Chain A
Amino acid sequence: MKRKLKNLSMLFCCLSLTIMSCGKRNYFPDPDDRGLSRLTSRGYNIITMYINNVPYINLYRRPLFGGISNTLPTITTKITNNDSVTLQISWQIEINDTSVSYNQPYHSISLLIPVSKSFRAHDFLSMNGQRFSPGTNGIAINYPDNYLDSLAGKSNLYFIDIKYNTLGDGSKHSYSFSGLFDGNIGDSILITKGRFDFEIDADKINF
């Protein structure tokens, strides 16, 4: 009986380890830019950039079941004052180096794009292929100790590809978007070589 129980517990441990170690996150090293993923447009749900020459990446989830997946950004419109609305794309970041300790200097980063009050999904789609003029858009960065407060600066943004996808039997819809960005917050924070590739369910977008 004891032996059976021992075997069963060993089997359970092996099974748990197998389930927990299943899968790997999407990250495809760019041979030209150490620590960054390649520029892609395949819905790999990955964003990487340098902040002051240190490579950063979006976080990933490691649930007990279901494998590893990269976290998605939040994409919302926010009324900033009576006359203008900002399209905000935000995501949590960490240093893309597993040897680095858990003390991360930054919590999240946001791209801020001024849009009209009547901004809708088709306006987002019309940004496909648009490289915005320098200084048109903003960028904000949040710190871990007070992630509601942010520092803002200027950004360059290029939506290389934005698509609306119909999945499966037509009942599910998604947006996929990919592109490049960089920016600066004063002279102290320099964001360079940013690239993103996401696919988000249409019902997670509030416009």
Chain B
Amino acid sequence: MKIKIFQILTCFLFFTRAINSNAQSSFSLSTGVSTDLNNTQSLNQMPVSLIWKPFKDKKKPLFLELDYAFPLGSKSSGEAYTLNPALPQKVILTEKISPYLFTVSAGFSIHLFTTKKNNIFYLNVAPVAVCYQTINVSYKNYDKANYEVMNPDVNSKEGGLVMSMAPVYYFHKEKQDMMLMLHLQTPLLKGKRDYLLSYKYMAPMQLTFGYNFYYHK
């Protein structure tokens, strides 16, 4: 996993340096809310997104993006059963699901249009990205000694390739722009799990708001 990220970063840095070393660069930092489009139960998160664009020049539209998402309380339910005749044979449990997500993506920006006020609308496309999804699961008020959860969810740590795209709108200011981004990502591009969980691989839709800072090399 770490090697893959390092390889992508190295390729990206090499590529960008090879193109131009005197261009104006920018980076943007944004945060907001995220929901998952691939699951019926809402796996909500608070994402933080960092995008580095080495060039402002529209002809060199490469970017590198790091996304990390923290969990916002997501709940589901589970059923537990017991043989103990002194206890109810079935109880419903509250299941707490905490999803974390880390994505490294490299891609290019497609310039869609610029308004009279110099606001710019881009479409960021990352054809190949690496994503690491961690989901922690716990059952509340669970009597482990007497009850067994049927088809329980368990913690998972899974990584793989994904694709993503994001329409981004930059509100022009002098030295920094404000930005609004809707980031869409596919689920992990890998086969089914051996053991079925109640949640599938996440496909986050992130709406973030932040700032874009310019700097000169």
- Residue B110 interfacial (CB < 8 Å): no
Interface flag for A40 (CB, 8 Å):
yes
Cβ–Cβ contact A42 & B196, under 8 A: yes
A108 to B39, alpha carbons, bound, how many Å? Answer: 42
User: Which of B148, B194, B196 neighbours the largest number of chain A CB atoms within 10 Å of its CB?
Assistant: B148
User: How far does the Cβ of A105 sit from chain B's closest Cβ, in whole Å?
Assistant: 24
Least distance between A162 CB and chain B CB atoms (Å): 14
Give CA–CA (A157, B81) in the complex, Å: 12
User: When the two chains form the complex, which single residue of B82, B85, B195, B196 contacts A134, counting CB atoms closer than 8 Å?
Assistant: B85
Report Cα–Cα, A133/B85, bound state, in Å: 7
Contact between B144 and A32 (Cβ–Cβ < 8 Å)? Answer: yes
Is B151 touching A180 in the complex (CB atoms < 8 A)? no
- B37 CB to nearest chain A CB (Å): 25
User: Given A28-B195, A42-B196: A156 and B83 within 8 A (CB)?
Assistant: yes
In the complex, which residues of chain A have a beta carbon less than 8 angstroms from the beta carbon of B144? 32
Known: A39-B149, A42-B196, A158-B89. A180 touches B154 (CB 8 A): no
Q: Do A180 and B85 touch (CB < 8 A)?
A: no
B83 touches A182 (CB 8 A): yes
B151 touches A42 (CB 8 A): yes
Give the chain A neighbours of B152 by CB distance below 8 A: 30, 38-39
The reply to whether A39 and B154 form a contact with Cβ atoms under 8 Å apart is no
Q: Is the CB of B89 within 8 A of A39?
A: no
Also in contact, A158 and B196, with CB within 8 A (given A39-B149, A40-B151): no
Inside 8 A of B82's CB, which chain A residues have their CB? 158, 180
B3 within 8 A of A: no
B161-205 contacts to A, CB under 8 A, are 194-196
Bound: A156/B89 CA distance, A: 13
A168 within 8 A of partner (CB): no
Looking at the complex, which one of A28, A39, A131, A161 makes contact with B148 (CB distance below 8 Å)?
A: A39
B83 touches A131 (CB 8 A): yes
Q: Which partner residue on chain B sits nearest A131 by CB separation?
A: B89
Residues from chain A with a CB closer than 8 A to the CB of B150 are 39-41, 160-161, 178
- Whether, in the assembled complex, A181 has its beta carbon less than 8 Å from a beta carbon of chain B, the answer is yes
Bound-state CA distance A182–B83 (Å) is 8
In the assembled complex, how far is the CB of residue B168 from the closest CB belonging to chain A, in whole angstroms? 42
Decide yes or no whether A31 CB sits under 8 A from chain B: yes
Contact: A181 with B151, CB < 8 Å? no
Inter-subunit contact B83/A180 (CB<8 Å): yes
- Name the CB-closest residue of B to A24: B194
Q: Looking at the assembled complex, report how far the CB atom of B152 sits from the nearest CB atom of chain A, in whole angstroms.
A: 6
Query: Which 8 A-B residue pairs are closest in the complex by CB-CB distance?
Result: A39-B148, A156-B83, A131-B89, A28-B195, A180-B83, A32-B144, A40-B151, A160-B81
| Residue ranges of A at the interface with B (Cβ–Cβ < 8 Å) | 24, 28, 30-32, 38-42, 131, 133-134, 156-158, 160-161, 178-182, 193, 195
11 contacts between A and B (CB under 8 A): A24-B194, A32-B144, A38-B154, A38-B195, A39-B151, A41-B151, A42-B196, A158-B81, A160-B150, A178-B150, A182-B83
